Structure 1
């Protein structure tokens, strides 16, 4: 198990230059935008506009803060994403345009390379004492509210937007109720 602190996320411009992203983790480490198998990041969306396109990538997004926004994928009907709502999965190579409903948002994005990995993103609330076991290729838990985990018998705080990374089969328990976005990776 590893806790990745938000202060340690790598900040960079979006692939299309339209905004700022905070790269949380990815594999292989140090891979560029065309070479990753998976990549987890936070995007700061300050204006309406197009998303970066990532051919051969499956992608899911969830709004972390700032209200809500709409996504139009390949000209289809707009999908509303809400701050506490379910994540939305889409083809990373598709033409996607966002529209902010009430000001800037901060979003969580997971991308996996088709044919190498698959992912599942979901919002969950772990009860006090509840445990999570890492999926086959790993699990990432992004805190939407601060919580404590037990690390070697000691409580360790996970702050808002920090990430707990588990390898396959590793387990972590929440010492109190924990609201997280869970991302499972599969081969």
Structure 2
């Protein structure tokens, strides 16, 4: 089995995940990473693998390397937990509790854990990983801001044009006819059809159906 220092992916979040799983299941970390297939130990190990895959977006081979298993074993564990989650409310609650636990641990000792696991051999890889994560988060933030802008523009169009949403989510018009090209349509470059913004498109479509 690779040591913690050799497997840079273990620091810092993996360490917090496994520790939180250990505390929840009352199974020592050494046993979770060990070879035992005993029921409670295997369950804890599967949960740790699932969270590493889902929450850390880490590859199956890297997770397998941390536990001394091949990637197919990790895939089986991840799929098993995911399948059980769909039908087991108590398991979903357990996952939520473990996530709260490892996030708390992560915030407490993230700096210390990272410093402890970094070596001259893995520091460049860790830096590259954090840089990729930062770029991904920036992209998600930009996308969220863009969606917020569009939503606000549509809200303004609804209010200024007398458009409201019914219970089914479709638009109803309080006016006789929608303008062919409103202010919002001119501002919004990503228009739906016929030079109309999303709000005006829904309004015109609703009126055509009514007629």
Fold agreement, TM-score > 0.5: no
Greater share of residues in helix: 2
* Greater fraction strand: 1
* TM-score range normalised by the length of the shorter chain: under 0.3
Mark the structure with the bigger radius of gyration.
2
Q: Output the TM-score relative to the length of structure 1.
A: 0.19
Q: Which has the higher contact order (CA 8 A, sep 6+)?
A: 1
Q: What's the TM-score, normalizing by structure 2?
A: 0.18
